[in-house]
Amino acid sequence: MPRPAPSPFAVLAALSTLCFSAVAAAQDTDVFPTLGRIVALDDAFAECVDSDAPIEVLGSGFTWCEGPAWDAEKNRLLFSEIPSNTVRVWEPRKAVRVFLDPAGYTGLADYGNEPGSNGLVVTADRRLLSCEHGDRRVSAMPLDEQGGKITLADRFEGQRLNSPNDLCVHSNGTIYFTDPPYGLPGGFESPLRELDFCGVYRLTPPTKSGRGTLSLVTKEMPRPNGIALSPDEKTLYVADSGAKHWMKFPVAADGSTGEGTMFFDASKEPGKGSADGLKVDAEGRVWATGPGGVWVFDPSGKPLGRIETGEHCSNVAFGGPDGRDLFITSDMYLCRVKTKTKPAAK
Q: What integer pLDDT is reported at residue 1 of this predicted model?
A: 67
Query: Average pLDDT over the chain, rounded to whole?
Result: 92
Q: What integer pLDDT is reported at residue 21 of this predicted model?
A: 39
Distance CA 327, CA 305 (A): 17
Do 225 and 239 touch, CB atoms closer than 8 A?
Answer: yes
**Is residue 60 predicted with pLDDT exceeding 50?**
yes
**Is residue 8 predicted with pLDDT exceeding 70?**
no
Q: What integer pLDDT is reported at residue 11 of this predicted model?
A: 38
Task: Give the mean pLDDT of 79-96.
Answer: 97
pLDDT category, 25, cuts 50, 70, 90?
very low
Domain locations in the chain?
Answer: 10-338
Phi/psi-derived region of residue 68, left when phi > 0, alpha when psi is between -120 and 50, beta in every other case: beta
Q: What integer pLDDT is reported at residue 5 of this predicted model?
A: 56
Task: Give the mean pLDDT of 298-327.
Answer: 97
Distance CA 50, CA 338 (A): 8
CA distances in angstroms from 299 to 15, 226, 283, listed in the order given:
41, 17, 8
Distance CA 254, CA 14 (A): 49
Q: What integer pLDDT is reported at residue 209 of this predicted model?
A: 65
Of 219, 122, 211, 121, nearest in space to 161 by CA: 219
pLDDT tens digits, one per residue of 194-250? 999 999 999 999 876 678 899 999 999 999 999 999 999 999 999 999 999 999 999
pLDDT tens digits, one per residue of 242-300? 999 999 999 999 999 999 999 999 999 999 999 999 999 999 999 999 999 999 999 99
Whether residue 270 has a cis bond before it, omega within 30° of 0: no
| Helix (H) / strand (E) containing 261 | strand 261-265
pLDDT category, 71, cuts 50, 70, 90?
very high
Distance CA 326, CA 318 (A): 5
pLDDT category, 44, cuts 50, 70, 90?
very high
pLDDT category, 23, cuts 50, 70, 90?
very low
Q: Which residue has the higher pLDDT, 257 or 4?
A: 257
Q: Which residues pair with 265 in a beta bridge?
A: 245
pLDDT tens digits, one per residue of 123-167? 999 999 999 999 999 999 999 989 999 999 999 999 999 999 999
**Is residue 10 predicted with pLDDT exceeding 50?**
no
Distance CA 287, CA 282 (A): 11
Q: What angle do CA 135, 274, 41 make, to 5 degrees?
A: 140
pLDDT tens digits, one per residue of 98-132? 999 999 999 999 999 999 999 999 999 999 999 99
Q: What integer pLDDT is reported at residue 251 of this predicted model?
A: 97
Among the listed ranges 21-30, 101-110, 234-243, 325-334, which one has the minimum average pLDDT value?
Answer: 21-30
Q: What integer pLDDT is reported at residue 29 of this predicted model?
A: 54
Q: What integer pLDDT is reported at residue 208 of this predicted model?
A: 67
Among the listed ranges 20-29, 285-294, 325-334, which one has the minimum average pLDDT value?
Answer: 20-29
Q: 10-338 belongs to which CATH class?
A: mainly beta
Q: What integer pLDDT is reported at residue 245 of this predicted model?
A: 98
Stated pTM of the model: 0.92
Task: Give the mean pLDDT of 300-313.
Answer: 97
Of 142, 145, 109, nearest in space to 128 by CA: 142
